[in-house]
Structure 1
Amino acid sequence: MIKTLLLATLIACSSMLSAQDLKIISFNIRYNSWNNIDGENGWPYRKASVAKMIEQEKPLAIGLQEALIDQLQYLDSALPSYRRIGLGRDDGKEAGEFMAIYYNTDAVELLSGETRWLSATPETPSKGWDAACFRTVTKARFKIKESGKEFIYLNTHLDHVGKTARAESAKLIASLAKEIEEGTPIILGGDMNSTIDDEIFQSFYAEGLEAARELAPKKHSDNRITYNAYGKDKGVVIDHFFVRGVKVKSFRTLDGDYGVPYISDHYPIEIVVK
Structure 2
Amino acid sequence: MRIASYNLRYDSMPDSITPQQSLDALPDALAAPTYYGAKGEQPWSTRRIKVFEHLESEGVVLAGFQEALVRQVTDLATLLGDEWAWVGVGRDDGVAAGEFSPVFYKKSAISLISNDTFWLSNTPFDVSKFPGAGSFRICTATHLTLQTGNKPVKFTYLNTHLDDQSDAERRLAASLMLTRARYEAATTGGPVIVTGDFNSPSTGTDSGAYQIITGQIPPVAINQTFAEKYAVPDGVLPNFVMQDLKAITPRPKISGEYATYTGFNAPGDASVYTRIDFVYGGSNGKWTADAYKVGSSLTDDGVLASDHRPVFADITLQA
TM-score (norm 2): 0.75
Q: 2:292 aligns with which of 240, 243, 251?
A: 251
Query: Which residue in the other structure is 2:57 paired with?
Result: 56
The answer to whether structure 1 residue 211 and structure 2 residue 244 are counterparts is: yes
Query: Which residue in the other structure is 2:19 paired with?
Result: none
CA 1:34–1:263 in structure 2 vs 1: closer, same or farther (change >3 Å)? closer
Deviation of 1:42 after TM superposition, in Å, equals: 2.0
Query: Which residue in the other structure is 2:185 paired with?
Result: 181
Instruction: Check conservation: 1:53, 1:258, Cα contact below 8 A.
Output: no
What's the secondary structure of 2:117's corresponding residue? Answer: strand
What's the secondary structure of 1:32's corresponding residue? Answer: coil
Instruction: Check conservation: 1:254, 1:269, Cα contact below 8 A.
Output: yes
CA offsets 1:171-198 (integer angstroms, 9 cap, x no match): 0111111211343111111111111122
The answer to whether structure 1 residue 122 and structure 2 residue 124 are counterparts is: yes
CA offsets 1:85-121 (integer angstroms, 9 cap, x no match): 1100000000000000000111111001111110011
Deviation of 1:211 after TM superposition, in Å, equals: 0.7
Deviation of 1:202 after TM superposition, in Å, equals: 3.4
The answer to whether structure 1 residue 199 and structure 2 residue 208 are counterparts is: yes
Query: Which residue in the other structure is 2:35 paired with?
Result: none
Query: Which residue in the other structure is 2:173 paired with?
Result: 169
Q: 2:12 aligns with which of 28, 33, 45?
A: 33
What's the secondary structure of 2:86's corresponding residue? Answer: strand
Query: Which residue in the other structure is 2:25 paired with?
Result: none
The answer to whether structure 1 residue 238 and structure 2 residue 238 are counterparts is: no
**Equivalent AA in structure 1 for residue 304 of structure 2:** Y
Fraction of identical pairs, as percent: 31
Deviation of 1:273 after TM superposition, in Å, equals: 1.0
What's the secondary structure of 2:264's corresponding residue? Answer: helix
Q: Distance in 2 between matches of 1:169 and 1:52?
A: 32
Q: Distance in 2 between matches of 1:109 and 1:130?
A: 38
What's the secondary structure of 1:237's corresponding residue? Answer: coil
**Equivalent AA in structure 1 for residue 191 of structure 2:** P
Higher helix share: 1
Instruction: Check conservation: 1:60, 1:107, Cα contact below 8 A.
Output: yes
The answer to whether structure 1 residue 265 and structure 2 residue 307 are counterparts is: yes
TM-score (norm 1): 0.87
Instruction: Check conservation: 1:129, 1:164, Cα contact below 8 A.
Output: no
Query: Which residue in the other structure is 1:225 paired with?
Result: 259
Q: How many residues align?
A: 252
Q: Distance in 1 between matches of 2:133 and 2:201?
A: 18
Unaligned runs of 5+ in 1: 1-21
Instruction: Check conservation: 2:170, 2:208, Cα contact below 8 A.
Output: no
What's the secondary structure of 2:280's corresponding residue? Answer: strand
Q: Distance in 1 between matches of 2:208 and 2:97?
A: 32
What's the secondary structure of 1:265's corresponding residue? Answer: coil
Q: Distance in 1 between matches of 2:297 and 2:130?
A: 36
Instruction: Check conservation: 2:202, 2:211, Cα contact below 8 A.
Output: no
Deviation of 1:199 after TM superposition, in Å, equals: 3.1
Alpha-carbon RMSD across the aligned residues, in angstroms, is 1.9
Deviation of 1:258 after TM superposition, in Å, equals: 5.6
Q: 1:83 aligns with which of 48, 73, 85?
A: 85
Q: Distance in 2 between matches of 1:256 and 1:125?
A: 32
Instruction: Check conservation: 1:41, 1:230, Cα contact below 8 A.
Output: no
